[in-house]
Amino acid sequence: MVDRDSLFWKMADGRLPPPACAHTLGLSFANIDPERGTVEVDFEAKPEFLNPVGHVQGGFLAAMLDDTMGPALVATLDAGEFAPTVNLNVQFHRPAKPGPLRGVGRVVMRGREVCQLSAELRQDDRIVATATATAVIRRM
């Protein structure tokens, strides 16, 4: 059963601040559906994220995608469980600029331990990057 009083849900509904890395990315939750294993997350790409040619550096986009897929799975976990990412594959489709981005993530397959995840990151309604990941459910 999903524990709505877990650390994740306390951060998602604003009772606790997000971790510093999520704060750096400007993360805020737009929609979480644990029954469907989906999440929509908003990010704010800051000028500090830019590479020398003025685009958001790919590592920041990869972190945003990871912070989209992870919550899609974490929202489904039972009390005392966590799910570290063990494999992350990112595809970059077009440059991103400073400003808002929307991540849409989903649990593709959830086993007892091994889970497959996917996400896309959009800016101005255009796909900037996509990712797939493998996460493993563990007990604390």
SS3 2: strand
pLDDT tens track for 40-79: 999 999 999 999 999 999 999 999 999 999 999 999 998 8
Scored b (16 or more CB within 10 A) or e, 78-88 reads eeeebbebeeb
> What angle is formed at CA 26 by the lines to CA 96 and CA 9, rounded to 5 degrees?
130
Question: So where are the chain's domains?
Answer: 7-139
- Give the closest residue to 29 by CA, choosing from 78, 68, 3, 81: 68
Per 3-state DSSP, what percentage of the chain is helix, strand, and coil (rounded to 5)? 20, 45, 35
List the end-to-end C-alpha distance of the chain, in Å, as a whole number.
16
What pTM was estimated for this model as a whole?
A: 0.94
CATH 3.40.30.10, applies to 7-139: no
Q: The tokens 């400007």 sit on which residue?
A: 26
pLDDT tens track for 12-31: 888 888 899 999 999 999 99
Q: What is the pLDDT of residue 79?
A: 81
